[in-house]
Structures are given as structure tokens and as C-alpha cells.
Amino acid sequence: MQGMTRPSILVVEDFAPLRSSVIQWLRVRFPGFHVKGVGSAEEALEHARISRPDVVLMDIDLPGINGLEATSLFRVRSPATAVVMLTMHDTPSHRQAAAAAGAAAYIAKTEIEDRLGAALEDLLGDRAKGMS
């Protein structure tokens, strides 16, 4: 992929087995992506300071800073990073809160297989297509 860097995805999820499921699935679905996982919003923000990920997949219920607060912080500190909420909560109020915090997309955990691939392709455009 000349002229394009590998898209990078950061998975923020405190439940390690789920984090590893998502990472494993992403690596199969998008073999060209750079995928990393962390267990808290603090680690995510620290990581973003050094290497700015293209997309963050953010859980809501996180220890310490929760996912909604972290999303707002990302908008300020790393405006080029798109935040996708990836959560078990699937209520209108959660969705509204996520949109207000600046999330680019909202995906329930049960819909990962059906929607996450398309959402990433939407956000990354041609870069995703070249890498999947």
C-alpha cells in the first residue's frame, strides 16, 4: 500500500477474554491493520499520546475514567482519532450520551460480527479496503 500507512486500532476493554476475542477477530478480518488492546481509559490515553490510533473501540463500563468521559477526552487530545463505542448497553440514552461525547459510531457487543467490519470500513474509507 504505497502512500498509505497501516490503519491502527486500539481496543479498550477491561474484560481480558473479550478484549482478546475482539483483537483476534480484527486480525483475521483485517490482517493488514495494526491492532492493540488495553484494559483502561487511562492506558488508552497514555497510548494515544505516543502513537495516535486511527480508531479506538471503547467500552463504556471501565474502571477509573469511564468510556464516555474518555471519548470526550479523545476528541480534545487526539481529534483525528475516531471513537467507536463497543458496549453491552444498548439503550437510547446510552446512544445519546455516546453521540454527545463525540463517538463516531455505536455498536452493541452482540453485533460485533455483523456491524463492526462495515463501521471500520466506513471510517477508514480506502485505507480499510486496501488492508482487509
Partner 1 sequence: MIKAAGGERFSAHPDRQRFHRELLRAVERARNLGSALAVLFIDLDRFKRINGVFGLDAGNRVLREAAARIRKCVREDDGVSRVGSDEFAVLLEGIEIPSLTSSIAERIRTEFTQPFEIAQREAYISASVGVALYPRDGESAEDLLKRSDLAMYQAKTAGRDICQFYSPESESRVSRKLDMESGLRRALKRGEFEVHYQPQTSLADGSPTSVEALLRWNSPELGWIPPAQFIPLAEETGLIHSIGAWVLETAMIQARAWQDIGLRPMRMCVNVSAKQLNQNLVDTVARVLDKTGLPVSSLELEITEGVMVGKDAVTGAALNDLRAMGIGFAIDDFGTGYATFEYLKRLPVRTLKLDGQFVRGVCDNNDDVAIITASVSLARSLGLRLVAEGVETAEQHERLRKLGCDDCQGYHVYQPLPAATLEKVLAKAQPGAADRPRLTIAR
Q: Please give the residue ranges that form the binding site for partner 1 (CB under 8 A).
A: 15-22, 24-25, 28, 61, 88, 109-110, 112-113
Contact 70, 57 (CB under 8 A): no
Least distance (Å) between residue 113 CB and partner 1: 5
Q: Which is nearer to partner 1, 48 or 62 (CB)?
A: 62
* Closer CB to partner 1, 24 or 51, in the complex: 24
Q: Which residue intervals of the chain are DSSP H helices?
A: 16-29, 41-50, 67-77, 92-101, 117-124, 126-131
Whichever of 48 and 86 has its CB closer to partner 1, that residue is 86
Return the SS3 of 81. Answer: coil
φ and ψ at 115, to 5 degrees? Answer: -120, -25
CB of 126 to partner 1, least distance (A): 26
Work out how close the CB of 107 gets to partner 1 at its nearest, in angstroms, rounded to a whole number: 11
Q: Is 61 within 8 Å of 86 (Cβ atoms)?
A: no
The three cell numbers locating residue 12: 479498550
Shortest Cβ distance from residue 116 to partner 1 (Å)?
A: 9
User: Is the CB of 52 or the CB of 109 nearer to partner 1?
Assistant: 109
Please tell me the distance from the alpha carbon of residue 51 to that of residue 63, in angstroms, as a whole number: 23
